[in-house]
Amino acid sequence: MTGRAPLRQAEAGIIIATLAVLVLAADQFTKYLAIENLPPEEPVHVIGDFLIFYLIRNPGAAFSMGEGVTWIFTIALAVVAAIIVWLAATRVRSRLWAVALGLLLGGVLGNLTDRMFREPGFPVGHVVDFINTPWMMPAIYNVADIFIVSMMIAVALLVLAGPHLDGTRPRKQAEAEATPAAEDAD
């Protein structure tokens, strides 16, 4: 990694906001296209059994679990979005963290938008899902889900081995703290 200085607060916020808006727009646009062009609950084989479009309205979470408590997912998505916005405003100075959190926020906002504004209505709207890759997993999902899952993996990797939210690196911080102690011993 380069020895670039951490981002300023405004820079991190701009990265996060820009990426979130782009993912939200891509998610909502692809859902619009799916609703307008796909027959409900009928498979459309795009690439054989590798990629199938299958339009459904999902009241639950992954694998349609929790269909009776949709409002809980709305609250959970809103809390996650609020935490990311708070982190963006107060803590994030790392480029990697800004990118990961921006893409994650976009995915969260994509599904939150469905929960708030789609039928049957606020706060229990059904999420539009239409992507099916049966070779990979037995689920139907959307663009927002792709970003949520992949960025949660990225966040886990950043927590384990990446820079801190403030842009410092664990090794460099440990070396910086050890250097003054070694100089004092001289």
What is the predicted pLDDT for the residue at 175?
A: 62
Known catalytic residue: 186? no
Burial call 81-108: b when 16+ CB within 10 Å, e when fewer? beebbebbeeebbbbbbbbbbbbbbbbb
What is the predicted pLDDT for the residue at 121?
A: 93
Catalytic residue among 145, 166, 184, 186: 145
Angle formed at CA 109 by CA 107 and CA 112, multiple of 5 degrees = 115
Known catalytic residue: 27? no
Catalytic residue among 27, 129, 166, 186: 129
Question: What are the pLDDT tens digits along the chain (186 aa)?
Answer: 456 888 988 999 999 999 999 999 999 999 999 999 999 999 999 999 999 999 999 998 876 778 888 899 999 999 999 999 999 999 999 999 999 999 999 999 999 999 999 999 999 999 999 999 999 988 999 999 999 999 999 999 999 999 999 999 887 555 666 666 555 555
What is the predicted pLDDT for the residue at 65?
A: 78
How far is 166 from 88, CA to CA, in rounded Å? 10
Which of 54, 70, 178, 49 lies closest to 120 in space, CA to CA?
70
